[in-house]
Structure 1
Amino acid sequence: MSADDKKGKKEIIREKMIERQGEAKVVRKIVLIVAIILLISAAAVIGGGYFYINSALKPVDPDNDKPKQVEIPIGSSVTGIGNILEENGIIKDGRVFKYYVKFKNEAGFMAGEYELKPSMNMKEILDSLKTGKVMEEMAFKITIPEGKQLEQIAGIIAEKTDKKPEDVLKKLNDKAFIESLMAEYPELLTKEILAENIKYPLEGYLFPATYPFYKEDPTIEEIVKVMLDKTSSVVKEYHEDMEKRKYTPHKLLTMASLIEEEATEKVDRDQIASVFYNRIDTGMPLQTDPTVLYAHGEHKSRVLYKDLEIDSPYNTYKYPGLTPGPISNAGVSSIEAALVPAETEYLYFLATSTGEVLFSKTLEEHNQKKAQHITNN
């Protein structure tokens, strides 16, 4: 190859390198421009979202004090209440209302006929819904605390309605009544509640809450349906989480009830849930004392070794996995723990006399804590 040919090739290579460098510069400019555009767009979206949410939390019309009659049906979910308020022009956006309520951890909204104004701010609206400032005067209310069992709930209903507890309980377990409820609430009350080993079909399904009644003498059927409406609305809020875990309402309420019965005010329920799930995953029985007491049908402060011998599918010392059904009514915090447990390696927990719950990874560690906090008490 001659010197001229070599020189020509070098020139060609040099020209191509210059061309590639030019292309690279163009590409870098394009990438930079696109990145700037994306950043500006993101900033615009975030800024726009902030201003939108801020605007949605303000009164619809600060100058409009004309009251509107707004009905909040019994059993309405937060989503449902938000939609009703938006449709009536009391708030600007039902979705913003929903997330605001969850962010503020607000609860305890009461059903009824309200007089609300477009000039009201979000706090005034929430306060009205929580204090029950309704047009129609309430005849009485029934409060069902968390962790109550069906026999106890029957007693509460009886006390408020001048009925005998045994008559209320009999109605709550009447087969024809149960089947009529199953037809009315097919997504909530499935055939699982009529399984052979179920003690009470409606156990765990009467949601803990305060229920206002505007009639002096509602029937047991009417009272139960109000409570089932509430349970149904709560369970629907967690539909997506239930699908992820492949949970039916029955299985969810069963797990939640076990968590509810073991929880104290000083413990995070999601950690108790983690122990139950870890035990199930490793094939260990749950061995939770409240299930033994439920099997015996009695309440007492301490479970004895002889109590553990009862042959019942509700006895989680003898039978692995969950109980056939709920053993009490669980609140929202226990339901959420059942769906989103903490990620731990704990296999044991121990409740002390002060209400503190101690968690352990091994049996040896658990026994040490038991000797220190229980045996010596």
Structure 2
Amino acid sequence: MNWKKILFNIFFTLSLLCGTVLSVAIFFYLSFYIPANNKPYSEKTEFEIPAGTPFMSIQNMLKEKGLIGDKKRFYYAARFAGKLQKLQAGHYQIPGGTHYFQLVRLLSNAPRHHIRVTIPEGLESWEIADILEAHLQIPKDTLLYYIKNPLLAGIPDSSLSNLEGYLYPDTYFLYEDISPKELLQRFWRQFNTIYSARYQARADSLNLSRNQVITMASIIQGEVMIWDEAPVISSVYWNRIKKRMHLNADPTIQFIVEGPKIRLRNRHLEIDSPYNTYKNYGLPPGPVNSPGQKAIEAALWPAKSNYLYFVAKGDGSHVFTTNLKDHNQAKRDFQRVRWEVSRQKKKSGN
């Protein structure tokens, strides 16, 4: 019996087996260092783990959010890291392209304290600054300075003279010690998430700049109360521009008159300003508030109509007309209704 040959074969087989196992283990281990998703690093996704959420639920939530592509890989990454029972409740901002081990480490460390801040649609920048000052450690004047100087805020878009209209209205979870620059960059990222390539392609097909779209959207935002009417109101304004008529858009006058919204008088319509659409043709130089997604879509996809006028009915809806005669009649009808309602209130003592 050739013992040397037998021992060689045993040694060779064991070496091959160990090498194979080691190779598989190394491959398996390194697979945890591939990106868990295809999102760009600059894109940060909000992710919240409520207190008491079990691991399997967290795993499913990550998958639903598009933050992981492989639930098993995330499970084994957490298991090998000894973190299966150590993921922390909290609100996270997860950068795109985070690999599995990074994600496990990130979710194993309780995040810094976040403050929930909701920015309603249709606010001007000074109103947004008021809300942010009330919640965060940032003076209003500092915020407004950076809003008027976007390049200094680290927003590299030379087409923007200021961020009016681009502070996207949404609910944000913000670090209480966030800097003004980080804050405005956050708004800017959210705006660009909403204003997608599809929107830009549509704007290009209409030969409109982004600024023109957002400016029109802000006017629509300021007018609309019933959102089914938004595309129709949009069509009125675009039709007026095509016919070289004044827009006569009240939201632009409200923007000129500083402070809270007021009931406009004839004297306000005479204010000398490039934003006065009662005196200047076309769109004003920029947005007059921060519009939401529905207003942006209405600006890009107006209804097909011949309407040139509309008048408020007092219940949030409008009467739309194609000529001045019918428009004036609609105004008279509304004045009669308003007068009758006022008379009845006085009669009943209310």
**Deviations 1:146-180 (CA, angstroms, capped at 9, x unpaired):** 0010000111110111443233323322x4xx224
- Amino acid corresponding to residue 189 of structure 2 in structure 1: D
Secondary structure of 2:195's counterpart equals: helix
**Deviations 1:87-129 (CA, angstroms, capped at 9, x unpaired):** 6236xxxxxxxxxxxxxxxxxxx97359xxxxxxxxxxxxxxx
Kept in 2, the 8 Å contact 1:257–1:334? The answer is yes
Secondary structure of 1:85's counterpart equals: coil
Q: Distance in 1 between matches of 2:186 and 2:236?
A: 34
TM-score computed with the length of structure 2 as normaliser: 0.65
Q: Distance in 2 between matches of 1:266 and 1:307?
A: 27
Where does residue 168 of structure 1 map in the other structure?
143
> Post-superposition shift, 1:268?
2.0
**Cα 1:185/1:111, change in 2 over 3 Å:** farther
The yes-or-no answer on 1:250 pairing with 2:250 is: no
Deviates more, 1:366-375 or 1:332-341: 366-375
Where does residue 121 of structure 1 map in the other structure?
none
Where does residue 89 of structure 1 map in the other structure?
70
> Equivalent pairs: percent with the same residue?
30
> Post-superposition shift, 1:367?
1.0
Where does residue 179 of structure 1 map in the other structure?
151
The unaligned stretches of length 5 or more in structure 1 are: 1-68, 91-109, 115-133, 195-200
Secondary structure of 1:247's counterpart equals: coil
Where does residue 231 of structure 1 map in the other structure?
191
Q: Distance in 2 between matches of 1:74 and 1:86?
A: 11
**Deviations 1:257-313 (CA, angstroms, capped at 9, x unpaired):** 111111113542100100001101111110011111212224334211111111111
Where does residue 362 of structure 1 map in the other structure?
323
Q: Which runs of 4+ in 1 moved over 4 A?
A: 69-77, 81-84, 134-138
The yes-or-no answer on 1:221 pairing with 2:181 is: yes
**Cα 1:242/1:89, change in 2 over 3 Å:** farther
Where does residue 51 of structure 2 map in the other structure?
none
Aligned CA RMSD, in angstroms, stands at 3.1
Structure 2 counterparts to residues 47-58 of structure 1, below 5 A: none
Q: Distance in 2 between matches of 1:267 and 1:139?
A: 36
Q: Distance in 1 between matches of 2:43 and 2:187?
A: 9
Q: Which residue among 272, 286, 289 is the counterpart of 1:325? A: 286
> Post-superposition shift, 1:74?
5.8
Secondary structure of 2:331's counterpart equals: helix
TM-score computed with the length of structure 1 as normaliser: 0.61
The yes-or-no answer on 1:112 pairing with 2:93 is: yes
**Deviations 1:39-66 (CA, angstroms, capped at 9, x unpaired):** xxxxxxxxxxxxxxxxxxxxxxxxxxxx
The unaligned stretches of length 5 or more in structure 2 are: 1-35, 47-61, 72-90, 96-108, 339-350
- Amino acid corresponding to residue 184 of structure 2 in structure 1: V
Secondary structure of 1:349's counterpart equals: strand
Where does residue 149 of structure 1 map in the other structure?
124
Structure 2 counterparts to residues 1-377 of structure 1, below 5 A: 85=66, 88-89=69-70, 112-113=93-94, 136=111, 139-173=114-148, 175=149, 178-181=150-153, 184-186=155-157, 190-191=158-159, 193-194=160-161, 201-213=162-174, 215-237=175-197, 238-265=199-226, 267-374=228-335, 377=338
Kept in 2, the 8 Å contact 1:203–1:329? The answer is yes
**Cα 1:86/1:376, change in 2 over 3 Å:** closer
> Post-superposition shift, 1:247?
2.1
Q: Distance in 2 between matches of 1:111 and 1:318?
A: 49
Q: Distance in 2 between matches of 1:357 and 1:312?
A: 27
Q: Distance in 2 between matches of 1:161 and 1:74?
A: 23
Kept in 1, the 8 Å contact 2:137–2:177? The answer is no
Q: Distance in 2 between matches of 1:160 and 1:210?
A: 13
